[in-house]
Amino acid sequence: MNPLANRHVLLGISGGIAAYKGAELVRLLRTRGAEVQVVLTEAATAFVTPLTLQALSGRPVRSQLLEAKEESAMGHIELARWADVVLVAPASANFLAKLSHGLADDLLTTLCLATDAPIVLAPAMNRQMWVAPATLANRARLLEHGHKLVGPDEGAQACGEVGLGRLVEPGVLMSRLETLFSPGPLAGVSVLITAGPTREAVDPVRFLGNRSSGRMGFAVAAAAVGAGARVTLVSGPVAVDTPARVERIDVVSARDMHAAVMSRAQGCDIFIGAAAVADYRPANPSPHKIKKAAPSLELKLARNPDILAEVAALPGGPFCVGFAAETEDLETNARRKLSRKSLDMLAANRVGFSGPGFESKENSLSLYWEGGSMELPVAPKEQLAVDLMEVITGRYLAKSAAENT
């Protein structure tokens, strides 16, 4: 059975010449057994007639937000809940701009805001519009919000220019939707991830912290969900949105993180320690704000528990992946850490005062395991996380298979 069979696909069509391909999309979705509800933006109605799409989809096309007759059939919130996936094809520059800013001034943008279904966007526009700084910023924001962008393709455009901006082929969109509903390689697998920094109290207003943004760990959590896993994310204080379908537990200090992880580690299959956990904490945090009276001040520090090492030492514990930020001798230090903490894999990256690393949106990783290694070149953290998760999945499945024979 096709993974799209009986799925509810809300097909949004925005205003652009590629809107005519909406008819082919509806046909392909229907032949795969999907139920299709078409929603047109006002501009799209200038390119395609609702009647064609209604005939192909077998459902009246919707386009108005507050139209009494349309709303009485299925209200917009009901429609948002009905959808298993929202596909917007073509997604115009204007539509991407509105969605990336959370506008809800017509039916399609309102549905996108009101649904918890995944949103797949297939942009199509003039090549200059695609690379305009405003569109670039909107694209980045949409990816950050967890939406999926497919395309555009390169080629001849309706405006006579040649470049990136054509709607991807309908067949490609079908495959993307099919993978969305296929059980991923980690279906039934539970993944526990730590992310972000920890804060170690010095007094009620001060703490020792570090520069970790949490972005890498959060991206890994999203990638693990994408691979079909059940994901729990234990996070220190960060300003990053929680990826869809991730259970997030907020903690502050290393000891909080330790408690949150140890109570869950035994039941998980894969543990990924992406947090920058403070190795030390002030031994005796002051109950009152420390006054600047003395000419100097000494802070006595106590060792924090090593969460990753403890999880890796659990008998019958999960497949363990650690991260290592190193300023020098990357491989030597990484391999030492791999064996000292008895890890299955270690992802190392070089950090310094400048360049990719802690606070940047891009990074590169060197992966090490016993008897092997792999380089993941510089890429946005979201992409890098997907690549990393693929390697983790492969090695986890191989280890489980070896253990079961």
Q: Give residues in contact with ligand C5P (CB under 6 A).
A: 194, 254, 273, 275, 277, 279, 304, 306-308, 322-324, 337
Catalytic-role residue among 112, 159, 268, 320: 159
Active site (annotated) includes residue 159: yes
Least distance in Å: CB of 118 to ligand C5P? 29
355: left (phi over 0), alpha (psi -120 to 50) or beta: left
| CA 250 to chain centroid | 18
Q: Which amino acid is at 270?
A: I
Q: Which is nearer to ligand C5P, 85 or 308 (CB)?
A: 308
Q: Which is nearer to ligand C5P, 100 or 235 (CB)?
A: 235
* Distances from the Cα of 295 to the Cα of 8, 35, 282, angstroms: 69, 73, 19
Least distance in Å: CB of 298 to ligand C5P? 23
32: left (phi over 0), alpha (psi -120 to 50) or beta: alpha
User: For 155-162, which contacts have Cβ atoms below 8 Å and span 24 or more sequence positions?
Assistant: 157/126, 157/127, 158/17, 158/18, 159/126, 161/126, 161/127, 161/128, 162/127
Write the secondary structure of 176-234 as one string of H (helix), E (strand) and C (coil).
HHHHHHCCCCCCCCEEEEEECECCEECCCCCEECCCCCCHHHHHHHHHHHHCCCEEEEE
**Contact (Cβ atoms closer than 8 angstroms) between residue 283 and residue 300:** yes
Q: Which amino acid is at 208?
A: L
Least distance in Å: CB of 273 to ligand C5P? 3
Least distance in Å: CB of 230 to ligand C5P? 21
Least distance in Å: CB of 394 to ligand C5P? 20
Euclidean distance between CA atoms 363 and 378, whole angstroms: 5
Structure tokens belonging to residue 315: 């008998």
Euclidean distance between CA atoms 139 and 96, whole angstroms: 7
Angle between helices 50-57 and 22-31 (to 10 degrees): 10
Least distance in Å: CB of 188 to ligand C5P? 25
Euclidean distance between CA atoms 207 and 202, whole angstroms: 5
List the catalytic residues: 159
